[in-house]
Amino acid sequence: ENIERFIDKMVVSTRSFSGKTKTRGEPLLTFSQCVFLISCVNILGKLADVLILILGQMPTVLLLLNANDVNLTIASAANMPFYSFILIGVVRRVIEDCLYFFSGRWYGKDIVAYLTKENRRSKWLKVSKAKMRESERLMRQYGVAILLVLPGALTCFAYGMAKRGSRRRTFLFLDSLGAALRVVLFRVAGKGAKKAP
């Protein structure tokens, strides 16, 4: 909490669709817009997964579509230039993480309520309110450490949901740092994978 207060002191006002002035933390996007953007990012990611054999020869395109751990390792082993690798990897991960963070911050309770309702009708969806409460509790206590060590979609969604009062710059700083550490880690892993017989 002290780290978060130290990193950020920003308050932004926006206008809502009703015309009333809203302060920091109020939705800038509708629920449907958040779902649409997350769907687009996930479709691009799945496209990269399906075309991984072709895109492995084009590491820049591979990372632009999806900078997951596997693709980072492949791009590193393909000798992608260091600065391009770091820049594209971090920016791509942070953009996706921001979508999940703000979706969790603005609509987290609604999304969890929908998923737990669907859980009763679906055999493949396993979401319980107890698990979500436990995740939220862990994020409140250890969110900064978890975000640094395991940045990613679900972590950012849970962080946004649990830390609704946290500042945007705090999240952006922590997530960028966590993403940079992860990208550098997989740069080293990719180089090591290429040297292995």
Cβ atoms of residues 11 and 24 within 8 Å: yes
- Residue 22 host element (H or E): strand 21-22
| Residue 64 predicted with pLDDT over 70 | yes
pTM beyond 0.85, yes or no: no
Distances (CA, A) of 158 to 44, 75, 177: 23, 29, 18
Average pLDDT in the 110-138 region? 70
Residue 11: how many other CB atoms lie within 10 Å: 9
Q: How confident is the model at residue 114 (pLDDT cuts 50, 70, 90)?
A: confident
pLDDT in tens, 30-52: 888 988 898 899 899 999 989 98
**Which of residues 168 and 98 earns the better pLDDT score?**
98
pLDDT in tens, 7-30: 444 333 333 344 444 455 578 888
Average pLDDT in the 98-124 region? 77
Average pLDDT in the 55-63 region? 90
pLDDT at residue 19, as a whole number: 46
Distances (CA, A) of 134 to 103, 105, 124, 158: 19, 17, 21, 10
Calculate what percentage of the chain has a pLDDT beyond 90.
Answer: 29
Residue 176: how many other CB atoms lie within 10 Å: 17
Average pLDDT in the 79-104 region? 93
